């Protein structure tokens, strides 16, 4: 699983990264987390509002930061079956 956090470094972008990392720890999974901060990279996903979350090249969240429980659910849904 590959996780990307799209954002320019705003406070909500940092919050999203924190929640993602906490959820990864909760699940005990190994995940590569990458931050995409350049505008061209963000726009290439069709995202116009940040922060955004991309899992395995699919946009999962745009413009919001979910709580830790919801983030665990999002990551579980993205795990290979």
**13 is annotated as an active-site residue:** yes
- Choice among 13, 23, 52, 71 that is catalytic: 13
79, 1 contact by CB (below 8 A): yes
Choice among 2, 8, 9, 10 that is catalytic: 10
Terminal-to-terminal C-alpha distance of the chain: 12
Decide if 10 is catalytic. yes
Q: Which H or E run contains 70?
A: helix 68-78
Residues recognised as catalytic: 10, 13
């Amino acid at each position: 699983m590959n996780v990307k956090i799209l954002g320019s470094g705003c406070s909500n972008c940092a919050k999203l990264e924190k929640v993602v990392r906490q959820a990864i720890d909760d699940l005990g999974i190994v995940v590569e987390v990458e931050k995409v901060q350049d505008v061209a990279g963000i726009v290439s996903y069709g995202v116009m509002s940040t922060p955004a979350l991309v899992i395995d090249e699919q946009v999962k969240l745009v413009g919001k930061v979910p709580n830790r429980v919801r983030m665990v659910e999002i990551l579980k849904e993205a795990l290979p079956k």
